[in-house]
Amino acid sequence: MRYSKKHLFLSLLLPIQVLVVQFLSQKSHLIEHYYSNGLYPYISSAFRLILGWIPFSFGDALGLVLLFLLLKAIYKLIITKGKNFIAQLLKFTSILSIIYCCFYTFWGLNYFREPLAKNLGLTQGAYTNEQLIQTTQSIVEKLNALQLQITQNDTLKVEVPYSVKEIYKLAPNGFNNMSKKLPQFAYNFSSIKSSLVSLFQSYNGTSGYINPITGEAQINDMIPKTGYPATTCHEMGHQIGWSAENDANFVSFLACTHNSDVYFQYSGYRMAYRYCIIELSKRDKTTADTIKKTVHIGIYKDFRDSYLHWKQFENPIEPYLKKGYNSYLKANNQSQGIKSYSYVVDLLIAYFEKQTL
């Protein structure tokens, strides 16, 4: 049996890397200072500068190539009846070791940084029903005003007039406006791409993702346009180092509402309303139903269209894919998994009570 010493060495490095990451996961202050605010901004800017000009998702293309090579290797093992299995296993493990290293070096260590709330000086924690009600009402007031400003009629749904490329071009505006007061939100060298696997994303129920190896923000270009700006800004939030989903949601809200464009503002408040009203419905359905009646009909037409869009992609495999993603999030310092997205509510409450950002 012949095998490569290089593959053996890289394979042996994998468990060592896992132990190092586990150690660093307990040192959030070190990650925050030396990685998230030290090394990472240079890494992410470099990748966006190098790959941002490419008109297609380089990360998706790379992923498809790796998938093809994996399937080819499996096929080869089958037709050779497992010949050189150990050598092939070492080769696979060595590639996995390289991917693991790249994942945490290029982006993944941000999962273990200090929370965004601490960075912004916001008090994050338990909140009362009254605080949630007041925040939701404030969001509804802004959302109604934006819908009426756009449509001039509270029964008409918002229609975003931009192409996806125009949305990508407009998205950095909000970050640039925020960075005047909060330099940590500066965004340079745009690298936002439509995913090459948008149809697959639609069937697994996802709107976008960051490629942690290439640093590209990759958006499912099939999603409804009213949610497109918020999704784009969410992935850009990941790009500048906020890995936790609730933090990325809050960055998206801030970036959208600080954007000069009214459609971005609408998308940001639309997202915020959705999370708040869902949480309020769990706590106080009667009050939630009362607040829903104050929301313009045109906004609910928009939500209805979005619901119907996602409904057409429902399939029996999606829940299992979400379970896999849920496990991934839990393995990376997000103990509530997919539920962590909704944890943006306490950040919204803290923001509306402070209103200094």
pLDDT tens figures, 141-173: 999 999 999 999 999 999 999 999 999 999 999
Out of 80, 95, 112, pick the residue that ends a domain.
112
Q: What is the pLDDT of residue 336?
A: 63
Whether 28 and 60 share a structural domain: yes
Out of 61, 81, 112, pick the residue that ends a domain.
112
Whether 90 and 186 share a structural domain: no
* Number of other residues whose CB lies within 10 A of the CB of residue 36: 23
| Helices (H), ranges, the chain | 5-24, 28-30, 40-51, 58-79, 85-106, 116-120, 129-151, 164-170, 172-179, 198-203, 228-239, 245-257, 262-283, 285-292, 297-311, 318-331, 344-354
- On the question of pLDDT at 357 being above 60, the answer is no
Give mean pLDDT, residues 234-250: 94
What average pLDDT does the structure give for the chain? Answer: 90
How many Cα atoms within 13 Å fall on the side-chain side of residue 218?
Answer: 25
Give the distance from CA 341 to its chain's centroid: 9
Written as one string, the DSSP assignment of 202-220 is HHTT--EEE-TTT--EEE-
Give mean pLDDT, residues 45-50: 95
Whether 197 and 278 share a structural domain: yes
Range from 73-77, 191-195, 265-269 carrying the lowest mean pLDDT = 73-77
Domain containing 57 equals 5-112
Q: By C-alpha distance, which of 239, 220, 233, 301 is closest to 267?
A: 233
Q: What is the pLDDT of residue 333?
A: 64
Whether 90 and 152 share a structural domain: no
pLDDT tens figures, 91-132: 888 889 999 999 999 999 999 999 998 888 887 778 899 999
Whether 259 and 341 share a structural domain: yes
Q: What is the pLDDT of residue 326?
A: 72
Q: What is the pLDDT of residue 335?
A: 58
Sheet strand arrangement including 217-219:
192-194, 217-219, 208-210
pLDDT tens figures, 27-44: 999 999 999 999 999 999
Q: What is the pLDDT of residue 124?
A: 75
Out of 112, 142, 162, pick the residue that ends a domain.
112
Whether 148 and 64 share a structural domain: no
Q: What is the pLDDT of residue 277?
A: 95
Q: What is the pLDDT of residue 143?
A: 98
Which residues share a beta bridge with 218?
193, 209
Whether 233 and 332 share a structural domain: yes
Tell me the Ramachandran region of residue 6: left when phi exceeds 0, alpha when psi lies from -120 to 50, beta otherwise: alpha
How many Cα atoms within 13 Å fall on the side-chain side of residue 222?
Answer: 17
Give mean pLDDT, residues 64-78: 82
The count of domains in the chain is 2
Whether 59 and 156 share a structural domain: no
Residue 102 to residue 10: CA distance in whole angstroms = 13
pLDDT tens figures, 73-88: 777 777 876 677 787 8
Residue 88 to residue 187: CA distance in whole angstroms = 42
Q: Determine the Cα angle at 353 with ends 348 and 357, to 5°.
A: 70
Whether 64 and 156 share a structural domain: no
Whether 14 and 130 share a structural domain: no
With bands split at pLDDT 50, 70 and 90, how would you rate the model's confidence at 14? very high
Q: By C-alpha distance, which of 271, 240, 249 is closest to 172?
A: 240
Rg (CA), the chain: 22
Whether 104 and 155 share a structural domain: no
Q: Percentage of the chain with pLDDT > 70?
A: 94
Written as one string, the DSSP assignment of 219-253 is E-TTS-GGGHHHHHHHHHHHHTT--SHHHHHHHHH
Q: Any idea what DSSP says for residue 157?
A: P
Residue 220 to residue 233: CA distance in whole angstroms = 13
Residue 253 to residue 300: CA distance in whole angstroms = 20
